Amino acid sequence: MVDKILKKKNLGEFIEYLEKDYAIVGPKRKADEHVFDYIDDPAELALDYTTTILPPKKLFFPPREPLYRYEKVDSEVILHDLSERWDKKRVLFGVHPCDLNGLLILDRVFNDKFKDPLYLHRRKNTLIICLMCENPTEHCFCDAMGTGPTIEDGYDLLVTDIGDRYYFEPGSRAGRGILKWDLFKNATKKDEKEKEAKVLEIKNKLHSDFKVDGLEGNMKGKFWSRLWDAHTKKCVLCGACNFTCPTCYCFDVVDETDFTGEKGERVRIWDSCHFENFALVAGGLNFRGGRIPRIKLRLYHKFCYSIEQRGVYDCVGCGRCIQFCPGRIDLREIIKDVQRR
């Protein structure tokens, strides 16, 4: 199938067309920032966004999610599955390549030897319309991570803004099906040239001054280096980098019981490896009682352990951990330091 063109003025109609079969989620304005959220009116879709506060992982792996409910009746226990079952599929419209790459990493976590049914249900029932990112921020380094600005797979449709039109490329059968809609026109050679020019223009906006080749090995060699003390002084262990990270997946599981103790829910909630009790076991033994081991755990998980676990770095260069760090710790500076010494 050839690539397709949609006039910008038809975007609203396209969204309405999709709404017949899908719920629409996309970037939406929230105060001075953007967030991914359900879209009720096509006008809410803010495709000119730079980045969102939370990455799209929250749509597949929510910050708090009930797993099941239990109820004690006489001397029996009754369990109710609380995992969501959707009757309507969903379209995630406008996710950038870095964030989509983040989802592809989470896929490897939740679809490994063990399968996570809650994540996989949402993933399977969400169509991905990926949008080429036009405005990398000062924090972005997808070019260094190889996770942007271009992307090869993982999307149903890939959209590039080329002035008064959108250039659509299909990446799956479902994507091709959508492109059969009347208002799509076949892309011409000229459209394709314009798209390529646009991609080049975007690439030229990214200028990371470091490479991650060999980073895993360099991390290994520097486990006991003093460089970690220097870089982690300003960390307040708040967990913001974990929660805003497209690939951080650690969670806690807790029982929320009502006052009678007769019924309650087991829920999972996002957790942070920076929190003091993350590796604390009964009896008061804490495997990472100190702050530096906890901060190092996150960095080693991203750039060293992940290679052994999944064969990829668990970082997509989205820059959120830099943007939201209250201590202004710049991950890029840490990587450069590891690579330099």
Ligand X SMILES: Cc1cc2nc3c(=O)[nH]c(=O)nc-3n(C[C@H](O)[C@H](O)[C@H](O)COP(=O)(O)OP(=O)(O)OC[C@H]3O[C@@H](n4cnc5c(N)ncnc54)[C@H](O)[C@@H]3O)c2cc1C
Residue 90: phi and psi, rounded to 5, are -135, 150
Query: Interaction with ligand X in 242-281: which residues (CB under 6 A)?
Result: 281
Q: Which of residues 90-149 bind another protein (CB under 8 A)?
A: 109-110, 112-118, 120-121
Window 55-94: contact mask with another protein (x via CB under 8 A): ------------xx-x-x--xxx-x-x-x-----------
Angle at 92 between CA 238 and CA 14, to 5 degrees: 145
Question: CB 293 → ligand X: shortest distance, Å?
Answer: 18
- What's the min distance (Å) between Cβ of 319 and another protein? 22
For ligand X, give the closer residue by CB, 122 or 288.
Answer: 288
Q: Where are the beta strands (DSSP E) in the chain?
A: 4-7, 22-30, 33-38, 64-73, 76-81, 89-95, 126-131, 157-162, 165-170, 185-186, 251-257, 263-270, 280-281, 285-286
Residues 70, 73, 76, 78: is their CA dihedral positive or negative?
A: negative
Binding partner selected for residue 223 from another protein, ligand X, none, CB under the kind-specific 5 to 8 Å limit: another protein
Helices 117-124 + 97-110 axis angle, to 10: 140
Determine, following the binding rule CB under 8 A, whether residue 31 of this chain makes contact with another protein. Answer: no
Please identify, using beta-carbon distances, which residue of 304 and 329 lies nearer to another protein.
Answer: 304
What is the helix (H) or strand (E) element at residue 19, kind and residue range?
A: helix 11-19
Residue 14 binds which entry of ligand X, another protein, none, CB below 5-8 Å type-dependent: none
Residue 268 within binding range of another protein, rule CB under 8 A: yes
* Angstrom distances, CA of residue 22 to CA of 12, 14, 144, 157, 195: 15, 12, 35, 15, 28
Q: Which residues bind another protein (CB under 8 A)?
A: 67-68, 70, 72, 75-77, 79, 81, 83, 109-110, 112-118, 120-121, 220, 223, 249-255, 257, 261-262, 264, 266, 268, 271, 273, 278-283, 285, 287, 293, 297, 300-301, 304-305, 308-309
Q: Which residues bind ligand X (CB under 6 A)?
A: 281-282
